[in-house]
Amino acid sequence: GKPIEPPTATRAEDAVVPGWIPTGPVGFPAHHLSPPDESKLVRMGAEMKRKFSDKVSASTLSLRQSRLEEMRDAKAVEFLRGNELFDKGDQLSALAEYEIAIRVPELRPYVQLNRGNAFKALLRPAEAAACYQLCLDENPPRTPQQRLVHSLALLNLGTVREDEGKLQQAMQLYNAALALNPRCHLATKNRGHMHIRNAEQLKAAGVSKSVPPQHEMAFNM
């Protein structure tokens, strides 16, 4: 999965309805967007990828001094550098940065979660599972932010168990993630897929009467 960082606040009043521009002063006509130019969207996407690549490969010397000071004050330089390296596909270098970042107590839950993601991307499930378990052990779900991180660790540990064929454990972990965070949509999706695969196996075995309805497969009712 993508590295997690403490979320930034967003304002509801900043939301914009896609495809519509609000009307101007009274008496002026409403303006509507034209259908998108596909070639322009492709060019924009390529330009965004180029800029992102330039960003993650740039030296920290290119950052403005005030930003570097903010990162140092938060003791997050190595953590953020690890996330950039992860996004760049260099998981081993990301892990090296996380090994330094994990010394900061406030960052440990995030670092453990992201270390697990890096190990999982490197096809090292045992180490990934150990990191997710440490995140759970060190991050009791007391505050809303702790519950969010806890639910993501449960989700990710569930994917490891599902890959290992430990489906009952995976289902329990997905259920636990959703109990903490009902908006953990990936847990809902993974759980639904597990129910559907189970239903297909029941049908193939000739016990279709045991197959639950679709809504029960999706939501485990």
Does any domain span residue 40?
no
- Domain housing 201: 59-219
pLDDT value at position 207?
73
Indicate the average pLDDT of the chain. 77
Tally of domains in the chain: 1
- On the 0-12 / 13-18 / 19+ scale of CB atoms within 10 A, 150 is buried
At 160-212, the pLDDT tens digits run: 999 999 999 999 999 999 999 999 999 999 999 998 888 887 778 777 665 55
Instruction: Give Dmax over CA atoms of the chain in angstroms.
Output: 68
DSSP tag of 7 = P
Say which CATH number the domain at 186 has: 1.25.40.10
Does any domain span residue 6?
no
State the pTM of this model: 0.65
Distance of CA 151 to the CA centre of its chain: 11
At 92-121, the pLDDT tens digits run: 999 999 999 999 999 999 999 999 999 999
Amino acid occupying residue 92: L
In whole angstroms, give the CA distance from residue 132 to residue 127.
Answer: 9
Number of helices (H), then strands (E), in the chain = 10, 2
Does any domain span residue 19?
no
Does any domain span residue 69?
yes
Does any domain span residue 75?
yes
Stretch 137-164: mean pLDDT: 95
Does any domain span residue 63?
yes
Tokens 């930034």 -> residue: 8
| pLDDT score of 59 more than 70 | no
Tokens 């569930």 -> residue: 158
Beta bridge partners of 32: 20
pLDDT value at position 23?
38
Does any domain span residue 30?
no
Does any domain span residue 119?
yes
In whole angstroms, give the CA distance from residue 153 to residue 145.
Answer: 13
| pLDDT score of 90 more than 90 | yes
